[in-house]
Amino acid sequence: MQDTQRYPNAAGALPTVAIPEYQFDVAEHLTELLVYDRNKNPSKYSVVLVSEGASFAGSEMMFQGDEADMFGHRKLGGMGDAVSARVKDLSAHFNNGRTINVINQNLGYMVRGGDPDAIDSVVPMAYGNLALDLILKGIHGRLVILRNGRYDNAPIDIVTSKKKLVNVNKFYNTERLRPHYNTFEMQPLLIMSDQS
């Protein structure tokens, strides 16, 4: 492991993150990182966040079935299950022969079912009011947004004109499978796309 002082335990502020833009090796790299981070954590756990669109090196995205929506898109799913099963199977190799228990949790409904904080309450209300203001002014084809910490609106084609991808070279640490954070100063709140 490189520079362990600079990268705090994965169970802390910077968990391991598997994103669609970077295919990862679960057999060696991911499992080794998780076991290493777990063993450095006094509470003996580590965390990996797995995007539904993430994929193993050399493989395709996983889908829940062959059924497509009206736009021809199939529903992603199953990657978290596959990662947790592989990590559990491989963990003993990196943990002195002892298998590590793995808990797999699909966060979809759990995250949406949590109690809202102040931002969760204020932002949707502001968006709704701003959208209504646009309608009342006869302005169409605009999207209500947050830009530089302020409410604004922009042409809707900024969302629909092209696929937004994370700029891996700029914002993603492929060694540690997490966002780049040598310093938090002037960094974006979330991993950013190539549009940032």
DSSP SS3 for 156: coil
Q: 104 is written with which tokens?
A: 């797999």
Q: What confidence score (pLDDT) does residue 191 get?
A: 59
Does 194 map to a domain?
A: no
79 and 169 share a domain? yes
Q: Hey, what amino acid is at 72?
A: G
Number of domains in the chain: 2
The verdict on 64 and 148 lying in the same domain is no
Q: Is 62 domain-assigned?
A: yes
Is 167 inside a domain boundary?
Answer: yes
Looking at the structure, tell me whether residues 147 and 87 fall in a common domain: no
**Residues spanned by the domain of 143:** 118-159
Which residues in the chain show pLDDT less than 50?
A: 1-12, 196
pLDDT in tens, 35-87: 999 999 999 999 999 998 999 998 989 998 889 888 888 988 899 999 999 99
One-letter amino acid for residue 100 of the chain = I
